[in-house]
């Protein structure tokens, strides 16, 4: 039995017929995966339940003794406008349905409606309520500029404002059961973000990580869904898939942009239906884990080009977070370097060296295509070669000495714009402007500035002397 209630708000069933309440509860749990359910057989007690319990959605019968469903609908809309109401009626009357919608009901269904259609309608209503509560929570966090669970991000070293905004967004979507798409370049720490989402969700199960890049369709299905004994040659015993191992926890699928078209279909069905079939089994199992996926690809471009299913893309991006690359988080360079050097020193049994004051300036002028992973590798490499009290700059200087490839003549480079109303600067003036900018970026370090503009340090020094600097 799941001990993780879904959704995070309660669904209240109000009907005077106990058999219908019981059968509807079973259908919601088995077909919809909804476990946070309240039942009310006496319409006079419904408002008390809404007042005392965290109700977010009400499934309301129209024809009841004491207080009719229409009267109760008006009370709920007036007193609890944030609570959604779906009408379930035994009568298929268009005028009644339209009147309920005008009074504020989210939707109207006849009790004889196909169960799949009804469950899908309830899923839509739940998603709408989740989005409403998430938006309210996010607005409040931004207004107050607060984090309610900073301990969930303790393993992420940052002081960047954009990362703080990411943390606030993650807190607002934590109660949701919908998938989360984490995008960002390789090396920015997407798996750490997945672990933070798991901590924020307070799920009792584990985090199970699967890198799906390169998995063919059969291996993908067996890895995720598992198999029964005898499902294929060599399957001499049953094996639980990653979905089952992640029960009540989080299933993290990395490199989702590399998934094959056939495997994309399998994942889409899992997310849409909330159930899957182990290989060789004809009995479905419900997924009881939250799905978090990550990619370094631009999925929007991939779905536009036909490489990624459009329906799966929109299913995954219900909650989406973009992790900024390290080159856009310059404020993090210093604290990350300190952290990695301390970590490396401890592992290698060395004392942590003093960082040269010009090193942070050097790092700020490098783009870090490998992001945090590359900075960590540089710190460990420098630490392994460290011999004196002050950290050697040789490893770090090497990254600026790598020859850059010549520009592609066919590439559309951004031109320099000049004011048509002003005369053009001379070559001498342009050279002076370039030197001034290089010195600004290098914070006055001539050696670094000369590297940035591709001239020798003596040549730069000579130009500066001519400028009277």
Q: Please report the pLDDT score of residue 315 as a whole number.
A: 92
Lowest mean pLDDT among 132-146, 217-231, 263-277: 132-146
Same fold flag, 151-324 and 427-466: no
Q: Please report the pLDDT score of residue 195 as a whole number.
A: 96
Residue 143 in this model has a pLDDT that exceeds 80: no
Of 299-308, 355-364, 391-400, which one has max mean pLDDT? 299-308
Q: Please report the pLDDT score of residue 52 as a whole number.
A: 95
The fold of the 10-136 domain, in CATH, is: Rossmann fold (3.40.50)
Predicted confidence band at 404 (pLDDT cuts at 50, 70, 90)?
A: very low
Tens digit of pLDDT for each residue in 366-377? 889 999 999 999
Q: Please report the pLDDT score of residue 449 as a whole number.
A: 76
Predicted confidence band at 407 (pLDDT cuts at 50, 70, 90)?
A: very low
Instruction: Give the pLDDT mean for 448-465.
Output: 78
Instruction: Give the pLDDT mean for 402-427.
Output: 60
Please report where in the chains the tokens 């079939």 appear, as a residue. Answer: 277
Provide the mean pLDDT of the chain.
88
Q: Please report the pLDDT score of residue 1 as a whole number.
A: 39
The fold of the 151-324 domain, in CATH, is: Rossmann fold (3.40.50)
Q: Please report the pLDDT score of residue 83 as a whole number.
A: 94
Q: Please report the pLDDT score of residue 252 as a whole number.
A: 97
CATH class of residue range 427-466: mainly alpha
Tens digit of pLDDT for each residue in 304-342? 999 999 999 999 998 999 999 999 998 899 999 999 999
Residue 190 in this model has a pLDDT that exceeds 60: yes
Residue 419 in this model has a pLDDT that exceeds 50: yes
Tens digit of pLDDT for each residue in 229-275? 888 888 889 999 999 999 999 999 999 999 999 999 999 999 988 99
Lowest mean pLDDT among 182-186, 193-197, 383-387: 383-387
Instruction: Give the pLDDT mean for 108-137.
Output: 87
Predicted confidence band at 224 (pLDDT cuts at 50, 70, 90)?
A: very high
Nearest C-alpha neighbor of 326 from the set 440, 187, 197: 187
Instruction: Give the pLDDT mean for 461-465.
Output: 80
pLDDT over 70, % of the chain: 95
Within 10 angstroms of residue 113's Cβ, the number of other Cβ atoms is 15
Instruction: Give the pLDDT mean for 390-399.
Output: 83
Tens digit of pLDDT for each residue in 83-121? 999 999 887 788 888 999 999 999 999 987 778 889 999
CATH class of residue range 327-401: mainly alpha
Per-domain residue ranges for the chain?
Answer: 10-136, 151-324, 327-401, 427-466
Q: Please report the pLDDT score of residue 469 as a whole number.
A: 62
Residue 403 in this model has a pLDDT that exceeds 70: no
């Amino acid at each position: 039995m799941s001990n993780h209630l879904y959704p995070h708000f309660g669904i209240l069933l109000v009907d005077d017929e106990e058999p219908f309440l019981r059968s509807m509860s079973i259908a919601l749990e088995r077909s919809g995966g909804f476990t946070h359910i309240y039942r009310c057989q006496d319409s006079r007690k419904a408002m008390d339940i809404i007042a005392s319990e965290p109700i977010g959605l009400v499934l309301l019968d129209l024809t009841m003794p004491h207080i009719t469903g229409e009267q109760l609908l008006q009370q709920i809309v007036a007193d609890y406008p944030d609570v959604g109401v779906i009408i379930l009626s035994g009568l298929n009357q268009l005028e009644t349905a339209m009147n309920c919608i005008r009074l504020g009901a989210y939707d109207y269904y006849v009790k004889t409606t196909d169960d799949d259609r009804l469950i899908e309608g309830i899923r839509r209503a739940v998603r709408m309520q989740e989005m409403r509560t998430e938006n309210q929570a996010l607005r409040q966090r931004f207004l107050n500029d607060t984090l309610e669970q900073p301990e969930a991000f303790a393993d992420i070293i940052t002081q960047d404002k954009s990362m703080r905004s990411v943390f606030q967004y993650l807190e607002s979507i934590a109660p949701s059961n919908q998938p989360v798409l984490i995008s960002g370049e390789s090396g920015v720490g997407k798996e750490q973000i997945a672990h933070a989402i798991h901590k924020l969700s307070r799920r009792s199960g584990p985090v199970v990580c699967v890198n799906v890049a390169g998995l063919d369709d059969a291996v993908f299905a067996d890895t995720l869904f598992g198999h029964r004994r005898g499902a294929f040659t060599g399957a001499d015993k049953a094996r639980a898939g990653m979905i089952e191992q992640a029960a009540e926890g989080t299933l993290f699928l990395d490199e989702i942009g590399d998934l094959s078209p056939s495997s994309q279909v399998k994942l889409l069905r899992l997310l849409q239906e909330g159930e899957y079939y182990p290989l060789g089994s004809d009995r479905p199992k419900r997924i009881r884990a939250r799905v978090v996926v990550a990619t370094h690809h631009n999925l929007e471009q991939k779905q536009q080009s036909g490489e990624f299913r459009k329906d799966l893309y929109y299913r995954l991006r219900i909650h989406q977070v973009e992790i900024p690359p390290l080159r856009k988080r310059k404020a993090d360079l210093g604290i990350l370097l300190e952290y990695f050097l301390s970590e490396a020193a401890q592992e290698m049994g060395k004392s942590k060296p003093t960082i040269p004051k010009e090193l942070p300036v050097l790092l700020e002028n490098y783009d870090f295509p490998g992001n945090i992973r590359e900075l960590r590798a540089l710190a460990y490499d420098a630490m392994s070669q460290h011999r004196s009290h002050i950290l050697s700059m040789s490893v770090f200087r090497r990254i600026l000495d790598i020859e850059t490839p010549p520009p592609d003549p066919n590439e559309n480079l951004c031109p320099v714009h000049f004011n048509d109303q002003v005369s053009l600067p001379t070559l001498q003036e342009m050279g002076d402007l370039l030197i001034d900018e290089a010195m600004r970026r290098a914070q006055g370090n001539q050696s670094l500035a000369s590297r940035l503009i591709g001239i020798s340090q003596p040549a730069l020094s000579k130009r500066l002397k001519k400028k009277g600097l």
